[in-house]
């Protein structure tokens, strides 16, 4: 289904073109946020999408080769109709709006979509920060909050970009309006105050983003190409038992358990070559030496074709590993018990007179001895009601004689 046009479409397109972003080269600020969105949400594809009159164009992209698609097939064209709200399609193949969409039945075979509109202060949604998977899924509340926060950071960056464009225009006008310097200076002063306000707000939001990293429960680390740790968050320090002051000179290989150091060096080289790795399981070694099982994603950031840093987000799965090991132990015990039961399930040779049982070696043993030997069980003895009645009758006859 083709999305209807927003009520403010002419003004929205004017605001989009004022940004002068369409068909511009890649920029690190946009690429970093797209990569971060992909890693936080665990999706193979993430985009910074700008919705033009007849197309959606990608200012930044992860996991997708195309630079643009038709607006008629665009999921983002639906998302911009809800400024300030996260638009999510858990299962595109079952959604009547999209099940016949060319991006669902063909490349990139969209199964899941979540997009947060990039909205200006005037309420114009220029595009989205979106994440895409090829299979149906859901985002956690933490992932949705992170996607909203990153979209707000992009929105603030776009506001600053638009203000910079306006200032550039104002400076050109100032040169041509030599006869009206006072008025131009007043407007420029006002716009610079607005720019300072936006920059202050952007700094505040950057602090919020930093606070998000610091308070995340996942272990976040950034390392140089030689393995030196450049940044870790609080959860990383608390889990491995280090202080911030101890990071100087520490490398990723110093916190890898010796049992998997060779494997992890090979994995690190693959990441440096640009191969993003998902659901990676690693065995860390804490400062006190105990092992910590973690699982997560790793990728590399490049500048001018050179690897400048690796980024990884891990989750502590040590408790899960303990539960899995306990489950395996219980399964083995049940299998052993079942084998013992199966051993006892066949026909046994029993003496018709004394009721002893003959074992596989030909020796005769009591029922209690046989079962204790085969099934490792203990016995208590008692008298059943029938035998008790018979015994009492025998005793009565003996006493009466």
Q: Domain-by-domain residue ranges, the chain?
A: 9-214, 219-320, 349-401
pLDDT at 118: 94
- Quick one: residue 222, left, alpha or beta (phi over 0 = left, psi -120 to 50 = alpha)? beta
Residue 343 in this model has a pLDDT that exceeds 60: no
Cα(293)–Cα(271) distance, integer angstroms: 20
Q: Please write the tens of the pLDDT for every residue from 294-320.
A: 999 999 999 998 999 999 999 998 898
Residue 169 in this model has a pLDDT that exceeds 90: no
Residue 100 in this model has a pLDDT that exceeds 80: yes
Burial class (CB within 10 angstroms; exposed 0-12, middle 13-18, buried 19+) of 369: middle
Q: Please write the tens of the pLDDT for every residue from 26-62.
A: 999 899 999 999 999 999 999 999 999 999 999 999 9
Q: Are strands 87-89 and 68-70 parallel, antiparallel or unpaired?
A: unpaired
Please tell me the CATH code under which domain 9-214 is placed: 3.30.450.40
Q: What is the token pair recorded at 291?
A: 């092992």
> Which of the four pLDDT bands, split at 50, 70 and 90, describes residue 372?
low
User: What percentage of the chain reaches a pLDDT higher than 70?
Assistant: 86
Please tell me the CATH code under which domain 219-320 is placed: 3.30.450.20
**pTM (predicted TM-score):** 0.45
Cα(385)–Cα(382) distance, integer angstroms: 10
Residue 344 in this model has a pLDDT that exceeds 60: no
Q: Do domains 9-214 and 219-320 have the same CATH topology?
A: yes
Q: Please write the tens of the pLDDT for every residue from 346-369.
A: 566 777 667 677 766 667 777 676
């Amino acid at each position: 289904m083709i999305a209807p046009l927003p009520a403010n479409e002419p003004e929205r397109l004017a605001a989009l073109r004022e940004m002068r972003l369409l068909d511009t080269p890649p920029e690190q600020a946009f690429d970093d946020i797209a990569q971060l969105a992909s890693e936080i949400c665990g999706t193979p594809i993430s985009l910074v999408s700008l919705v033009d009159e007849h197309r959606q164009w990608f200012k930044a992209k992860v996991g997708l080769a195309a630079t643009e698609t038709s607006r008629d097939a665009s999921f983002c064209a639906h998302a911009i109709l809800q400024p300030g709200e996260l638009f999510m399609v858990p299962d595109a193949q079952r959604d009547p709006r999209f099940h016949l969409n060319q991006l669902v039945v063909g490349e990139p075979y969209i199964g899941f979509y979540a997009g947060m509109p990039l909205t200006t202060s005037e309420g114009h949604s220029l595009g989205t920060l979106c994440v895409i998977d090829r299979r149906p899924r859901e985002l956690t509340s933490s992932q949705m909050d992170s996607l909203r926060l990153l979209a707000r950071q992009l929105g603030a960056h776009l506001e600053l970009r638009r203000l910079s464009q306006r200032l550039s225009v104002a400076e050109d006008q100032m040169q041509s309006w030599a006869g009206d310097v006072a008025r131009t200076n007043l407007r420029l002063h006002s716009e610079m105050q607005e720019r300072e306000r936006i920059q202050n707000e952007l700094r505040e939001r950057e602090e919020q983003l930093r606070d998000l990293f610091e308070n995340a429960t996942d272990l976040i680390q950034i390392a140089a190409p030689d393995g030196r740790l450049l940044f870790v968050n609080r959860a990383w320090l608390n889990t491995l038992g280090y202080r911030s002051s101890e990071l100087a000179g520490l490398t990723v290989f110093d916190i890898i358990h010796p049992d998997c150091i060779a494997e992890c060096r090979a994995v690190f080289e693959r990441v440096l070559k640009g191969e993003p790795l998902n659901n990676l399981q690693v065995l860390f070694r804490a400062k006190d030496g105990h092992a910590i099982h973690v699982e997560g994603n790793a990728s590399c950031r490049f500048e001018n074709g050179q690897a400048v840093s690796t980024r990884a987000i891990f989750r502590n799965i040590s408790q899960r590993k303990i539960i899995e090991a306990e489950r395996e132990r219980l399964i083995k015990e049940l299998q052993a018990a079942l084998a013992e039961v199966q051993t006892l399930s066949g026909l046994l040779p029993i003496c018709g007179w004394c009721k002893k049982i003959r074992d596989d070696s030909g020796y005769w043993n009591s029922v209690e001895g046989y079962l204790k030997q085969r099934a490792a069980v203990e016995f208590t003895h008692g008298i059943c009601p029938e035998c008790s009645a018979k015994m009492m009758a025998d005793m009565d006859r003996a006493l009466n004689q």
